[in-house]
Amino acid sequence: MIKELVFATNNKYKAEEIQSILGSQYKILTLTDIGCTVDIPETGNSFEENAILKSSYVTEHYQQDCFADDSGLEIEALNNEPGIYSARYSGIKDDRINLELVLQRMEGVTNRKARFKTVISLMKNGKNTLFEGVIEGTIRQVPAGDQGFGYDPVFEPFGYNVTFAQMSMTEKNRISHRAIAMQKLIAFLKGQADPS
C-alpha cells in the first residue's frame, strides 16, 4: 500500500516536483488535497519552531503524516534579520517594500555577508525529524534579475557572479537552501540516510 504524506503547502508545482523525485513510494498531498483552508499561524521564534507548528497542525487536525518548511534570509550585519520575518519584514507581505527596507538598512555597510536558510519538519509516525539547508552569499547593493521572488534580486550565492533572480528556476533549485533541505528529507524518506 502506498503511504500518503502531506506537504503543508498549496503550491501544486512544489508538491509535483517532490512527487516526481520520490516516485511511487509515497503519494504527496497538498493542504488543498486534504481540505485544509486554514492559514496555519507561524508564531514561533525560529525557522524550526514555525516548521514544527505547521507539520504538527496537520498531524493533529487531519491525523496524517506531514512535512512543512520555513525559510528566510539572515544578514550578518543586521543581527541575522530579517530571519523569520523575511516575508513581512516591513510589516506587510510585499516583496518589493521588504527588499527596499533591507537595502536601506544596508546602506554604507561593508559587511554584506548573508545566508538563506530552510528548515523542514517531518512529522511521521508521531515522531518529528528536522532537516536544514543553508546557502551562504552576499547582499548586492543594487537588485539584478527578474526571476524568483523575495530577496532573490539582491542575494548572490558564494561562487557565483549572478543573483538568484538572474538564475533559471532549474539552476536555483539545484543549489538553493530549500533544495539542500529537501534532498536530505527525500534521502531520509527513501531510507538512504539519517537526517544529521
Q: What pTM, to 2 d.p., does this model score? A: 0.88
Active-site annotation holds for 70: yes
Alpha-carbon gap, residue 23 to 190, rounded angstroms: 10
Per-residue pLDDT of the chain (196 residues; tens, 9 = 90+): 678 899 998 888 778 878 877 778 789 999 999 999 998 888 999 999 999 999 999 999 999 999 999 999 999 999 999 999 999 999 998 999 999 999 999 999 999 999 999 999 999 999 999 999 999 999 999 999 998 789 999 999 999 999 999 998 888 888 999 889 988 998 898 884 444 4
* Distance, CA of 135 to CA of 115 (rounded, Å): 5
Strands (E), the chain: 3-7, 26-29, 66-75, 81-82, 113-124, 127-139, 155-157
Q: Give the CA-trace dihedral at 159, 160, 165, 167, to 10 degrees.
A: -110
Task: Give me the architecture of the 3-189 domain, per CATH.
Answer: Alpha-Beta Complex (3.90)
Give me the catalytic one of 70, 94, 95, 152.
70
Domain range list for the chain = 3-189
